[in-house]
Chains A and B, each alone.
Chain A
Amino acid sequence: MNTSEKNHKDIKASLFITCLVDLFFPQVGESIVKICRKLGIEIDFPEDQTCCGQPGFNSGFQGDARAIAKRFLSIFNQDDTRYIICPSGSCTSMVRVFYKELFKDDPQMLEITHNISSRIYEFSEFLVNVIKAEDIGASYTGKVTYHDSCHLLRELGIKDEPRKLIKSVKGVEFIEMNLHDTCCGFGGTFSIKFPDVSASILDEKIENIVESGADTIVSSDMGCLMQIGGALSRRGIPLKVMHIAELLASS
């Protein structure tokens, strides 16, 4: 089902880059732009964006999170004909699932939240469920295993979509690892609030990745990949760490 020739010129999207990708992994953003252009999707980048507010929300600072969320909503509300695509399951679920908690006492903001929630998608979700593209025409030679990031899996229910995309990449041998849907131990600030517990959970994840025999680990959340990649790097394990967008942009 090669849809790289399909033209989606009628589809317009805004990129919600997320602070982790913006600051530490900009190549993920570049990959997304490359893929969108290949598929004929018109993509823009609202330059004023910063954060969705999740770190504050998860740490108990709802008031601060609310202020940042308001800012996010006003930036992405400027053109409501555009989809919003995001390379992170956890940031997407913050907007789609948790913003209505934050604004439950504010009907005006709640309305804007509903509008934005109806058009924001995590990237692999967007490709498979909106664009209906599974084969982007990418190619990559390697044994790839996939880590299900928690919010993407459990809040957004996205499990098959990334797998379909990965399996369609020419040259990829997909391997399902043991306990692929168990948390990697990142949990945002949890990783520095309880670093030893986080590292212990991470140890088992690394064990499972290595045991799978894969040479490449892919996920849809840079938080998870930062956690996993950081351990692989510390131990000198030469596994490739990639965001799914990077894999799909390979040729």
Chain B
Amino acid sequence: MKTKRLRFERDSASALKNQKLQGALRNATDRFRTVREKATGEIKGWENLRIKAREIKKHTVEHLDQYLEILEENIMKAGGTVHWAKDGNEACSIILDIARSNNVRSAVKSKSMATEEIELNHALEGAGIKVVETDLGEYIIQIAKERPSHILAPAIHKTKEDIAKLFAEKLNTEPGLEPEKLTNVAREKLREEFLSADMGVSGVNFAVAETGTIVIVENEGNARLSTTVPRIHVALMGIEKIIPRFEDLSTFLSVLFRSASGQKMSAYVSFITGPRRKNDLDGPEEFHLVIIDNGRSEILAHEETRESLHCIRCGACLNVCPVYRKVGGHSYGWIYSGPIGAIITPQLLGIDKAPDLPFASSLCGACKDVCPVKIDIPRVLLELRRRVKNNKRTRAGFGERVAVRLWRFSMEHRKIYSLFSSLSYIAQKPWLQEGRLKSLPLPFSRWTRHRDFPPVPKKPFRERWKEIRDSK
């Protein structure tokens, strides 16, 4: 797990200067936003669906232990095995054990943020097991040895020319292939992997307690292949992915697809309940669900930020966030980016590891408007900001503390406020150029770096009021 402190300003600096990335981000977020608006606009009762989804998640999280126990029972009844992991290291150990005891030499993986959270690939490769990412976007960045830049479209920062070049270099294909041919190359290469792998690893979009069913959504078919062909299927899920009843899937699938990619339904949804049955001709012989905590129970324990656990990982908040649109996923320093990343990364890694993230937002609220489970992200950000300032390791530095004291003092004493007002009129004079303030000393220089500061007029409103108060 991460031990270094994340630094948003530093990490976002290169993203802001990268014109190609800026273009890709604008393109991607515009596209996702438009289709999402259309898909949610045309469904009757969208708002009610959101409310229902939120209520179900809230209820589930408030009874989480009970539902997890029911889920476990039902999976076991169906012939599956359930494992529990306190943290990422333990989850990796468990999965390694399963692999070792089954002589697994290669594994295919479908997209799962939880597996990236625990750095599973690293652990498996360390034990000499070959791991192949099969989601096309993830496959691309695996070959490129990069990190994903968007929850849904991990290779969004790469142009098709980039990818053609990458494939030519690393896979010995012809140079300059078009997307359709590139996709075919991936299909053929990965087909071999699916058919020869000993183990398939997947994430879980929803786990239904009532029936012991895990649900995986996708468009490519790689999750179906990873969870059908290899002998062993290991599914990894965070404790919060659970929902109570089979019928609740109707609500969640309805809000997930429209929010994520503007579709009514993805190409495939798999509903898996245990391993193959006795006389089945295919399907995995063993099904293992690994349930992981890794900091989620901590989030659960804080009522004010508990709703962070409602997230169904649709990515809608990323696509409307003015900050994400400019800085992209890598700037958030970890796997989860955008508004949801800004709230769960500090909570999962510890507020002292990511004290910048809650502040990396203008609090515009666009995310709150689109979240299908109605997480009030701005409110959670404000609460996290309060925690940062109250934490010994991350609280305000000397300069900021002085500024806050001064601000509070002047706002509590009007005469001092007025005095500062008159003083700033005088103090600005050396910096006034043709009636404009183009550069100022710290901390105002951070403003004037990019824009002019408004000049302070001689008379503030309260003085003018005295003059106009008694007139008509």
Contact = CB atoms under 8 A, between A and B. Distances in A.
Query: Do A and B touch directly, given a CB cutoff of 8 Å in the complex?
Result: yes
Interface of A: 17, 19, 21-26, 28-30, 33, 37, 45, 47-51, 53, 55-62, 64, 67-68, 71, 101, 150-151, 154-155, 182-183, 185-202, 204, 226-227, 229-231, 233-234
Q: Which A-B residue pairs are the 4 nearest by beta carbons? A: A187-B362, A230-B451, A60-B385, A60-B389
Contacts of A50: 410-412, 414, 417
A165 B414 CA distance: 34
Contact of A233 (B16, B387, B390, B436): B436
Interface string B1-34: 0000000110011001000000000000000000
Interface in B383-442: 385-390, 396, 404, 407-408, 410-412, 414, 417, 421, 424, 436, 438
Interface of B: 8-9, 12-13, 16, 322-323, 325-327, 358-366, 368-369, 379, 382, 385-390, 396, 404, 407-408, 410-412, 414, 417, 421, 424, 436, 438, 443-444, 446-447, 449-457, 459-462, 464-465, 468-469, 472
Nearest to B365: A154
Given A150-B365, A187-B362, A23 B322 contact: no
Most buried by A among B360, B387, B450: B450
Contacts of A24: 454-457
B457 A198 contact: no
24 contacts: A22-B460, A26-B461, A29-B465, A30-B461, A45-B469, A50-B417, A53-B411, A58-B363, A58-B382, A61-B396, A67-B412, A71-B412, A101-B382, A151-B365, A154-B366, A155-B365, A182-B322, A190-B359, A197-B323, A198-B362, A201-B323, A229-B452, A230-B450, A231-B451
A49 to B, nearest CB: 8
B362 A185 contact: yes
Given A71-B412, A187-B361, 15 more contacts: A24-B456, A29-B464, A58-B382, A59-B385, A68-B411, A151-B365, A185-B322, A188-B363, A190-B359, A192-B444, A196-B16, A202-B450, A230-B450, A234-B438, A234-B451
Contact of A45 (B13, B327, B446, B465): B465
Contacts of B358: 60
A47 B8 contact: no
Contact of A23 (B13, B366, B389, B456): B456
Contact of B408 (A17, A56, A183, A198): A56
A165 B289 CA distance: 59
B428 to A, nearest CB: 11
A57 B382 contact: yes
Contacts of A51: 411
A49 B460 CA distance: 13
